[in-house]
Structure 1
Amino acid sequence: MDWIRPIVVTMLGAPMSGKTTFLLGMYATMSLGERAYALLEKDQDKDFELGRAWDRLCAEGVLPPPTPEEPFEYRFTFLHGKDPLLRLDWTDFRGGAMTTPLGEANGFIESPDARRLVQRLAATDSVYLVLDGSRLGASPQALETRRMTALVRSALLEREPARPALSVVVLLTKADRLLAELPQHLTITQRLDRALETILGLLPVMRQPGMTAALCPVTVGGFGAPTRGRVDPATVRPFWLHKPVMFTMFHRLREERRLLDAELGSLGARHRHLTAELDRVNGERLGRLLRRAELRGLESERAQVEEAWWVADGRRRMTDHWGATLREEIKELPVFRDGARVESDDL
């Protein structure tokens, strides 16, 4: 589906929230393949570095270092089998970028990545808000989530009207610790519902009109507190690391379907207008004889509209197919659209 431009993804999270470790585990999982889906980093050097960092975590328990002031940028291709479906332009900012002042007013020192973060959010298609599941409800995290909320609302205000609607993934890292504290006889979805009230209190922007948000718990492993940047490698147990990406893809296809519906409606209206004009000219006395050039122009334009309609209809059928397939991958996630909870059958 190369007609769809790359999906711009931006990750926000506090220092030590686990966002870089999630990215490492997500790529390791998806580059190997999840069912028939896979991710591929276009830059082979970056693919190698991501793979080497994952191998060190699995073999030696070495956690990845924090993101530096220069953000990490990736160009992923989302594949089904050998066929490329969608592309992602993914940026991971350092944890402190979202809470760093932008300029030197009031004695603050300007932070280039903080300013770059604000600028990028206006062009972002999917924002990942990373919460540390082991600290859910902690007071410092409440301060961080207020900043996340402000940044998302600012991005919505700056967003160009013609762009696809924004999606938000509330990424609950270290979710094993949170889920373990909830009744074990409940399903994961039921336990998420128990935690949802707290999360909505921290991030009411999940119910912001004009966007779609999903809550996704993920775990790279049952690490506990690291010691000098190391954990027990035997505790590496990835869980649901692929689902956030699946949601981002599903939402983009849903938006593409909406845009294609509008395009098909416009093409259909133009086709009806041209057909009416052709009927009118052909129905006039001597119309076929004296207005041949006009008739040829109308017929040529109608043929072009018909061709464009079939192209758009083929794209719509393709987005329907892959959207329905991806929907099955995210049915367990709590999703809000335009402020209201969406049942899995209505995704």
Structure 2
Amino acid sequence: MYQAPRITMTMLGASGCGKTTYLHGMYAVLSSGLNGYFLYATDPDKDLDLADAWDELCAAGTLPEATDVVPVDYEFAFKHGMTTLLEIDFQDYRGGAGTDRMGTAGASADVTALKERLAVSDTIILALDGQHVADWINDGAGDARDRPGDMRNRSGDPMHIARFSRAISTVVEAHVRQGEQTPAIIVLLTKCDVLAQITGRPTRDALDVVRRNLFDLVPVLAHQVTVLLCPVQIGTFGLDREDALKVRPDQVNPKNLHKPISFALMHYLTERLPRQQESLSGLDQRLDSQRQEVESLRNGFLGSWIKRGRINALESSIDADRARRGETAGEIGGARVWAEQMAEDLRTSPIYRDGKLQED
């Protein structure tokens, strides 16, 4: 029988890149239901907070308020119909929590809290502002190979990629040393509606540049991790707005907001499968050994009372192992089914493993 895993999901990103707005949009899309899948906040008050903020965006064009120095906790359940597929421990941090100095006098507590949380995260979302990504594309627009400029040669790092890369590298190295599953990494490319406006290219062409050159943009992700590149948008708001906190409600047009959840589940199940299969093989070997011993005892010359006691103990152990084997086999079967379902949802999305783009 399928057992829904519980994961810790953490999002990194510079201030103003759209992390909180993405969260609200993702929840709005999935809480309403998408192809039979749903996402619910287990706290009814959090559900209402998220729904009210989205309603305000759709009715009045008011973007959600940025997260302050106190992170916001969410507990989500990702479901297909009535079946819970994934439980998610999610925290929304302000952008400065990932870029402020830890040792500075008066430093906010969320800076240290974010570092500690990253260390135990199963999924890390790195949110990159589409406006800055478009500028990066333009830096190399004249290159014959159609490659963007090197971020290291720019006068600044507005997306704080170097700082976030160091944080991700520290976490991945710790997992590898301990022989643990490395976290899923999602590069969330926000505000994709501005790519065409800034680069002068069709959005598809601009995204193709990012797809082909992702590791020039974020080099640390070329090693020991599985990465989803996920372009998203909340609407077609563009750059020409008088008020940065207001948009036109009729331009709300969410795209791809659910895919990070699909990827988080697929990665967790896929990476866990080999260990489950190893456990199943161990149970099979143990069962074979116990059965052989029972057969040997029945054909042997030990005293009947000794033989009977040992056989009874072995048969009890065999029954328990059979039950465990059935449970493990059921978990493996369920995990494969749902991993394949998530993979189908992500079939057209760029996924990289150890620096290589996974082709269909």
Per-residue deviation, residues 275-306 of structure 1 (Å, max 9, x unmatched): 23223323322365532211111111111111
Correspondence 1:203 to 2:218: yes
Secondary structure of 1:264 counterpart = helix
**8 Å contact from structure 1 (residues 133, 172) kept in 2:** yes
Cα shift readout 1:22-58 (whole Å, capped 9, x = no counterpart): 1110000010011100100011111111111111111
Q: Name the structure 1 match of 2:187.
A: 170
Query: Residue in 1 aligned with 2:271?
Result: 255
Name the CA distance, whole Å, in 2 between partners of 1:127 and 1:86. Answer: 16
CA contact (8 A) 1:75 1:90 kept: yes
- CA deviation string 1:76-131 (max 9, x = no partner): 10111122221111111110111111124xxx433210100110111100000000
The aligned residue for residue 12 of structure 1 is 12
How far off its partner does 1:307 sit?
1.0
User: d(CA) in 1 for partners of 2:226 and 2:39?
Assistant: 23
Query: Is the CA contact 1:69–1:94 (under 8 Å) kept in the aligned structure 2?
Result: yes
Measure, in 1, the Cα distance between the counterparts of 2:231 and 2:163.
21
Aligned mate of 1:124, from 118, 121, 125: 121
Matched residue of 1:215: which SS?
Answer: strand
After TM superposition, the structure 1 = structure 2 runs for residues 37-56 of structure 1, keeping only pairs within 5 Å, are: 37-56=37-56
Amino acid of the structure 1 residue aligned with 2:98: M
- How far does residue 170 in structure 1 lie from its aligned partner after superposition? 0.3
CA shift, 1:228, in A, is: 4.8
Kept in 2, the 8 Å contact 1:101–1:111? The answer is no
Would the alpha carbon gap of residues 199 and 337 (structure 1) be closer, same or farther in structure 2, given more than 3 Å must change?
Answer: closer
The verdict on how the C-alpha distance between 1:5 and 1:85 changes in structure 2, with shifts beyond 3 A counting, is closer
Q: Over residues 302-324 of structure 1, what are the superposed CA-to-partner deviations in whole Å (9 max), with x where a residue is unaligned?
A: 11111101111011111111111
Question: Which position in structure 2 is the counterpart of 1:307?
Answer: 323
Contact 1:101/1:109, CA 8 A, preserved across alignment: no
User: 1:61-76, aligned counterparts within 5 Å?
Assistant: 61-76=61-76
Residues 244/143 of structure 1: CA separation in 2 closer, same or farther (3 Å cut):
closer
Q: C-alpha root-mean-square deviation of aligned residues, in Å?
A: 2.2
- Residues 169, 288 of structure 1: alpha-carbon distance in 2 compared, 3 angstrom cutoff: farther
Structural mapping, 1:1-347, within 5 Å: 3-104=3-104, 108-136=105-133, 137=136, 139=154, 140-141=156-157, 144-159=160-175, 161=178, 163-178=180-195, 181=199, 184=202, 188=204, 192-209=207-224, 211-225=225-239, 226=241, 227-286=243-302, 289-344=305-360
Find the aligned partners of 2:157 and 2:128 in 1 and give their Cα distance: 8
Q: What residue identity is the alignment partner of 1:102? A: M
Question: Structure 1 pair 169/179, CA: closer, same or farther in 2 (3 Å)?
Answer: farther
For 1:76 and 1:151, the matched residues in 2 are separated by 25
**Residue 326 of structure 1: how far off its partner (Å):** 1.4
> Is the contact between residue 77 and residue 85 of structure 1 (CA under 8 Å) also seen in structure 2?
yes
Question: Does the aligned pair in 1 maintain the 2:12–2:98 contact within 8 Å?
Answer: yes
- Distance in 2 of aligned mates of 1:321 and 1:301: 30
Whether contact under 8 Å (1:281, 1:288) holds in the other structure is: no
The 10-residue stretch of structure 1 (170-179 or 286-295) with the greater mean CA deviation from structure 2? 286-295
Question: What CA distance in whole angstroms lies between the structure 2 residues aligned with 1:319 and 1:3?
Answer: 8
- Please tell me the residue identity of whatever aligns with 2:78: F
Deviation at 1:197, TM superposition (A): 4.2
Q: Give the whole-Å Cα distance in 2 for the aligned partners of 1:287 and 1:4.
A: 49
Kindly indicate whether the alpha-carbon contact (under 8 Å) linking 2:101 and 2:111 is maintained by their aligned counterparts in 1: yes
Once the two structures are superposed, residues 242-274 of structure 1 have per-residue CA deviations (whole angstroms, 9 ceiling, x without a partner) of 111111111122123233112112211221222
Q: Report the Cα distance in structure 2 between the residues aligned to 1:122 and 1:151, rounded to whole angstroms.
A: 9
Does structure 2 retain, via aligned residues, the 8 Å contact 1:146–1:202?
no
Q: Distance in 2 between matches of 1:147 and 1:287?
A: 72
Verify the 8 A CA contact 2:97 2:111 in the aligned structure 1: yes
Structure 1 runs (4+) deviating above 6 angstroms are none
Cα distance in 2 between the residues matched to 1:165 and 1:47: 30
Residues in 2 aligned to 1:169 and 1:309: alpha-carbon distance in whole angstroms: 34
SS across alignment from 2:17: coil
- How far has the Cα of 1:151 moved from its partner? 0.6
SS of the counterpart of 2:67? Answer: coil
Displacement of 1:193: 3.2
Task: Give the gaps of 5 or more residues in structure 2.
Answer: 137-150
% same residue: 34
Residue 3 of structure 1 and its aligned partner are, at CA, apart by 3.5
Q: Cα offset for 1:191?
A: 5.2
CA distance in 2, matches of 1:57, 1:230: 8
| Structure 1, unpaired ranges of 5+ | none
Cα deviation for residue 166 of structure 1 reads 1.1
